[in-house]
Amino acid sequence: MKPAPFRYARPSTLAQAIALLGEARGEGKVLAGGQSLVPMMNMRLVRPAVLVDVTHLRELTGIAPTGDGGLRIGAMTRHAALMASPLVRERTPLLAEAARHVGHAAIRNQGTLGGSLAHADPAAELPAALVALDARVEVTGPGGERLVRAEELFRGLMATALAPEEILTAVDVPAAPGGWGFVEMARRPGDFALAGIVVVLGRPLPSPPLGGEGGRVVGFGVGDRPLRLRGAERELAGGGIDAEAAARAGAAAARDCDPPSDVHASAEYRRHLAGVLTERALLQAGVRRAGG
């Protein structure tokens, strides 16, 4: 199929891009990597009146270290660049691992971090990783810049806190935690995950569950957005990670999630996967925190 008629705009600055979206009055779309938007346009699931191409804007690219040991990553950074960056592998290796699981090589070469976040597919890897890392997302619109916690960016199925005239411009990622785990299950390499789990341990969090050391367990593909699995997080409070603790957290994760059923997997199977993958991701994180 072919997309419905639209106007194509290629602004030379971020300010021009924001102005074009404002003029579109909610009928504009931002073209970042285009790996999700273009197929949806071809199937006429979305019909923007104006397509605003920001792929060439250098002010939206780049990976830079921050003084607190974290990273500032431009929204137009490609998935392949996240995988290959020595800074990412050193400071936030979880992001490099999550990017490695995104689609196929052709998709990783074109797809962007900002595009993945703005598209907000509930089975996507990078949104879940950034929620687990407690990242901040920079959003720019007619009124200037604002920061949104990654957890608060996602409002529902492919729905975000972005206003129609705003553009996601960068992501601020805190310093790497002491331990992390990432596990997903897909039908074939490159397919969307049937379910996946991201775990972060060993870093003080704004509101650690029930005190203790704090930790985050985030599921993807098991709800309408990246889900904090808080029952599993409560099992982490104040204790080490061993097989018994991981099993308890896995059982709690299965109870917490609300997965969909589709032609690829039933809700019951995805719930079972959430439990098993939580156990595996927690054991990974425990080994990494111990220096393994």
* pLDDT above 90 coverage of the chain, percent: 81
Which of 1-5, 181-185, 237-241 reaches the highest mean pLDDT?
Answer: 181-185
Give the integer Cα–Cα distance in Å for 220 and 195: 6
The pLDDT of 209-223, averaged and rounded, is 74
The pLDDT of 242-262, averaged and rounded, is 93
Does the structure show a pLDDT above 90 at 276? yes
179: which strand partners?
Answer: 201
Residue ranges in the chain assigned as alpha helix (H)? 14-24, 37-42, 79-84, 86-91, 93-100, 105-110, 113-119, 125-132, 150-153, 230-234, 243-256, 267-289
Tokens 């897909």 appear where? 186
pLDDT at 77: 96
Numbered ranges of CATH 3.30.465.10 in the chain = 62-173
* Residues 173-201 pLDDT 10s: 998 777 999 999 999 888 889 999 999 99
Numbered ranges of CATH 3.30.43.10 in the chain = 7-53
The pLDDT of 253-258, averaged and rounded, is 94
Numbered ranges of CATH 3.30.390.50 in the chain = 179-289
The pLDDT of 49-54, averaged and rounded, is 95
* pTM (predicted TM-score): 0.93
For domain 179-289, is the CATH number 3.30.390.50? yes
Grade residue 268 by pLDDT with cuts at 50, 70 and 90. very high
CA distances 47 to 3, 39, 40, Å, are: 7, 11, 9
The pLDDT of 223-249, averaged and rounded, is 89
* CATH class of the 7-53 domain in this structure: alpha beta
Grade residue 233 by pLDDT with cuts at 50, 70 and 90. very high
Does the structure show a pLDDT above 50 at 41? yes
Give the integer Cα–Cα distance in Å for 101 and 106: 13
The pLDDT of 35-54, averaged and rounded, is 92
Grade residue 289 by pLDDT with cuts at 50, 70 and 90. confident
* CATH class of the 62-173 domain in this structure: alpha beta
Does the structure show a pLDDT above 90 at 208? no
Does the structure show a pLDDT above 50 at 211? no
pLDDT at 236: 85
Does the structure show a pLDDT above 50 at 127? yes
Does the structure show a pLDDT above 70 at 56? yes
Computed over every residue of the chain, the mean pLDDT equals 91
Give the integer Cα–Cα distance in Å for 154 and 134: 13
